[in-house]
Structure 1
């Protein structure tokens, strides 16, 4: 049973149980449920209520259950989104309200591996639910739903909240004919599944796995991948061995002579040549990098001088290495010309990107990412979704902010303003935050300060495309999907809004400035960050998929692929 069929059985069970209202907080892993709900709504079986903030979604569902005197359901994606429901679940527990939590999750083979937005979320609500069931991917959810719904109605005691945790494997979009090839990204199908992240056989940091390390100093076509939290050691390591460095922005290793610009677009041509990969930190941003790390024909090593918090022992496929001597021996020195080829390709890619941006008539996320990186000398925090990926594509290795932060533990969009404010207050260092509009709205309450509270020096740059632009770059933006589901795709994934960010900032007593041109943006970013200021840059996401297709085509043409 694929994910779409499983989700359709969920909506059928809801309809059979008389549940007519479902609140949906959009996300990627919950996409099968979103499409199944859209189909059910088309048939008139239920009503969908879309809320961007999961905490709001939880309490909206609570109110629907209270007002209708029957169970109401709330749907979230995986990760912190589920945790945002806890206050509503706690209230439903003590008030005996039949609130049904439908939390989407990764399949078991990805749990504990460090897969993006993945945690142990089954049973998260503990004593506050009447029942918590974990439905394995590919399993008929009907009997699980029947049990949980009965418990929500009080079959064995007081009515109250229940959690149905639903694991979904790729593909997350209903199957349909498609010839779409214009998107930069491709399906995750096979990326994690082929990675060997199935648990059981991998060793902990003190036990080697996979293939044996090559002789010390041996030349090898190795690349260094620096994920979140890698630190400057990754840059020093790559430079010492003359190896290409593929560094995410929040690695704080994106500097030095080994850094490769626009690396994720180069992997299509250079990827087949790679023999070994050394990983520092936790890579989470790029599907091309995930595909590289999934290849069983590539020797992979993960540097873990101590047990990290982001994966469980025995759940990673790489060889886990805890000493630099062993890591140096594994990596080998880059052969003659290996780094030079990457650097030349990276330089051509960066030049092609700049040329394309110069020709664009309006500001895009890539313009903003480039300007923010180049004009930030103090702390920089990057919000999840498109902004950090735009910076990953544009950030030059010739410049680096003081420190780059990002909430990549579970990569949620929640709490970004508050986190950045705390960073700014911690050491009194001016901090710039780059976020999308939905991330900004999700934590708008973070702008509220009481009288006498210390104000951080915090500048919030908001890329406002009036919705969730990232979904248009994923499978949901494919023409066949849009044609079949029509306005439901925009409503359930694009989540359009007309929020007035200037009025919102003013209501919290925060300065606001609307940016319309690249010159205005550069001038605003050059000013000292003092007090709190929101810089709003409005963009149009309608053509985002086509724009990223042109970006990819321009880079591939420039490097000869």
Structure 2
């Protein structure tokens, strides 16, 4: 098998901006592994567990804003990329997945390490390429096109399946060089941009702006601080990365009720991706006559509230600048939001309870320093963070809200920290943390990570959800009680470890969090699930504005 086209792939990747490749060991992908590992301009990382490898690559792409290459052998290896690929698809994160395969005549005849790899990820990739088994027919344009698709328009993963027939290792004495005739076709097509719909907006006085999950955008933050003020109501949960803007509503989960007519808009304009708040979704879904517009240069939208009427392909800042020139908004509607928001913030400032999860989360969240990257696990962690809020400067918040699964939080944070020199803080629950423990099973764990594990001995969220909390199977099959700690993992992978079991120990830990700059640390905060349930309900009752 002529391997020259395989050894050209890293060069194509590098020319199109790719900096990192995450490789899981195997034999059928040997030529790919050798080609990338010998190429000097792409940094390669060996991660044995493909499920963790997928999320580590995803975390790298979060930092680079470029696709990361994933490389694995044939068979079930590629299936283990599934959760990360789905997350990348729904969270618009570019990935280039290269799966080695066996020739078609060996598939389905009980030959080893073979599955049906064509279109392995179904609708969860932007495109699929099945390359010819004769590598001489692999064109440079096919690879460059796959890379460009990961970035063009709405970013996302692309799967390239590469069959290899034996022999697929280079001979020991042969050194492949890069072809001097590599041809790359760059996509320079520009998408059309819509015109700001001024006359249409004038029809609405009760306008609500909702920011879904989006990357930290300093220009947007500066614009809000200098221009927007309180002209209209703007909402953004913790994943919207607008926490340092005072005039953005962010504690709405304490006071939204679907029956609250004073908070129902005539028009909701959304930016970004998914919205965390279930109560907000219920409010908007129940609002009769509501129109929903989505704005974004990619032109992609989702009918989250069942009210979508228009999509505008306009840059967010351009849209907001035009919107701020209008002066017809209902001031009373805006004030309904801000009155509730300000009362909630006042109640939060004097909130003090017994030692339990709400108090622990509040103190930890407030102790996180400025200018760090914060990764939030799903389930209760991201919900506590959104309810209690953050206000630190230049704090970049990440969370796998594309699929909202607990898998991969550790790995995503590690991949992000590897690509960044900044201090990285991961907040996670015990189940999510232990589920992804193979995230540390490699030789690249960065030394700029602080992990805070909130250990309530199981899936505490199910005790707070009305459905499972009332079932006799709650403790055994929903919470899945466990008595493990992170101590052994910390010792195994070289983390400094600190255990918290009361408020005094928590205060000492928060001092360490405030001063965190580098190192490998795990702080494990132990709480009692019964006390947590009681304290959470009391917190909601105390903080909700009367």
Q: CA deviation at 1:90?
A: 3.9
Q: Kindly tell me: are residues 116 and 322 of structure 1, through their superposed partners in 2, closer, same or farther at Cα, counting changes over 3 Å? A: closer
In the alignment, is residue 222 of structure 1 matched against residue 211 of structure 2? no
Q: Which residue of structure 1 aligns with residue 433 of structure 2?
A: 440
Determine if the alignment matches structure 1 residue 514 to structure 2 residue 499: yes
Aligned match of 2:244: 255
1:470 partner SS? helix
1:554 matches 2:542: yes
Which residue does 1:403 correspond to in 2? Answer: 396
Going from structure 1 to structure 2, the CA distance change for 1:273 and 1:317 (only over 3 Å counts) comes to: closer
Confirm or deny: 8 A CA contact 1:511 1:534 kept in the other structure. yes
Shift of 1:348: 1.4
Question: Shift in Å at residue 533 of structure 1?
Answer: 0.3
Q: State the match for 2:352 in structure 1.
A: 358
Alpha-carbon RMSD across the aligned residues, in angstroms, is: 4.7
Q: Structure 1 318/473 Cα, relative in aligned 2: closer, same or farther at 3 Å? A: farther
Partner in structure 1 of residue 527 of structure 2: 539
| The structure with more radius of gyration | 2
Question: Could you say what secondary structure the match of 2:352 adopts?
Answer: helix
1:371 aligns with 2:364: yes
Alpha-carbon distance in 2 for matches of 1:443, 1:328: 43
Aligned positions of 1:348-497 closer than 5 A: 348-355=343-350, 357-359=351-353, 361-365=354-358, 367-379=360-372, 380-397=374-391, 399-450=392-443, 453=444, 455-479=446-470, 482-483=471-472, 486=473, 489-497=474-482
Larger mean Cα displacement after TM superposition, 366-375 or 467-476: 366-375
C-alpha deviations, 1:242-274, integer Å up to 9, x for none? 222221212112232312241122222466442
Where 1:289 maps in the other structure, the secondary structure is helix
Cα distance change, pair 273–55 in 1 and its aligned pair in 2 (3 A):
closer
Q: Take 2:459 and 2:298, find their aligned partners in 1: how far apart are those partners?
A: 37
Q: Do the aligned partners of residues 342 and 224 (structure 1) sit closer, same or farther apart at CA in structure 2, a change above 3 Å counting? A: same
Q: Is 1:213 matched with 2:207?
A: no
Measured in 2, the distance between the counterparts of 1:396 and 1:250 equals 10
Preserved CA contact (<8 Å) 2:358 2:536: no
Q: What do residues 82-102 of structure 1 show as CA deviations (whole Å, max 9, x unaligned)?
A: xxxxx9994599xxxxxxx9x
What's the secondary structure of 1:414's corresponding residue?
Answer: coil
- Which of 303, 310, 321 is residue 319 of structure 1 equivalent to? 310
Change (3 A) 1:312 1:548: closer
- Aligned to 1:282, the other structure's residue is in SS state coil
For residue 303 of structure 1, the aligned residue among 295, 305, 309 is: 295
**Alpha-carbon deviation of 1:529?**
3.0
Structure 2 SS opposite 1:463: strand
Distance 1:407-1:302 versus aligned 2 partners, 3 A rule: same
Residue 225 to residue 206, structure 1, CA distance change in 2 (3 Å): same
Q: Secondary structure at the match of 2:340?
A: helix
CA–CA distance in 2 between the matches of 1:327 and 1:300? 16
What secondary structure, in the 3-state scheme, does the structure 2 residue paired with 1:267 have? coil
Kindly indicate whether the alpha-carbon contact (under 8 Å) linking 2:237 and 2:250 is maintained by their aligned counterparts in 1.
no
Q: Measure the CA separation in 2 of the matches of 1:326 and 1:429.
A: 32
SS at match of 2:540: helix
- Equivalent position SS for 1:213: helix
Q: Secondary structure at the match of 1:498?
A: coil
- What is the aligned partner in structure 1 of residue 59 from structure 2? none
| 1:241 Cα offset (Å) | 6.2
Structure 2: tracts of 5 or more residues without a match: 1-48, 53-71, 93-98, 103-107, 122-190
Preserved contact between residue 280 and residue 303 of structure 1 (Cα < 8 Å): yes
Q: 1:448 to 1:279 in 2, by over 3 A?
A: same
When the two structures are aligned, how many residues end up with a matched partner? 382
**Residue 511 and residue 368 in structure 1: after superposition, are their counterparts in 2 closer, same or farther (change >3 A)?**
same
Q: Alignment partner of 1:417: what SS?
A: helix
Provide the C-alpha distance between the structure 2 equivalents of 1:460 and 1:405, rounded to a whole number of angstroms: 14
2:231 match: secondary structure = coil
Q: Structure 1 residues 407, 273: closer, same or farther in 2, change over 3 A? A: closer
Distance change >3 Å, CA 270–CA 524, structure 1 → 2: farther
Q: In 1, Cα distance between the equivalents of 2:237 and 2:540? A: 18
Contact 2:468 2:478 in 1 (8 A): no
Offset at 1:441? 0.7
Q: 1:340 to 1:312 in 2, by over 3 A?
A: closer
CA distance in 2, matches of 1:54, 1:412: 17
Q: TM-score, normalised by structure 2?
A: 0.58
Q: Which residue of 2 aligns with 1:500?
A: 485
Matches within 5 A, 1:174-323: 213-215=200-202, 220-229=205-214, 231=217, 236=223, 239=228, 242-268=231-257, 269=260, 272-294=263-285, 295-308=287-300, 317-323=308-314
Structure 1 residues 420, 288: CA separation in 2 closer, same or farther (over 3 Å shift)?
same
Partner in structure 2 of residue 84 of structure 1: none
Q: CA deviation at 1:523?
A: 1.4
TM-score by length of 1: 0.57
Residues 534 and 270 (structure 1), Cα distance of their counterparts in 2 relative to 1, 3 Å cut: farther
1: distance between equivalents of 2:77 and 2:418?
36
Offset at residue 328 of structure 1 (A): 6.5
Q: In 2 relative to 1, CA 454–490 (structure 1 residues): closer, same or farther, beyond 3 Å?
A: closer
| Aligned match of 2:337 | 342
Where does the alignment leave 5 or more consecutive residues of structure 1 unmatched?
Answer: 1-52, 57-86, 94-100, 105-110, 118-124, 129-155, 166-203
Cα deviation for residue 346 of structure 1 reads 1.3
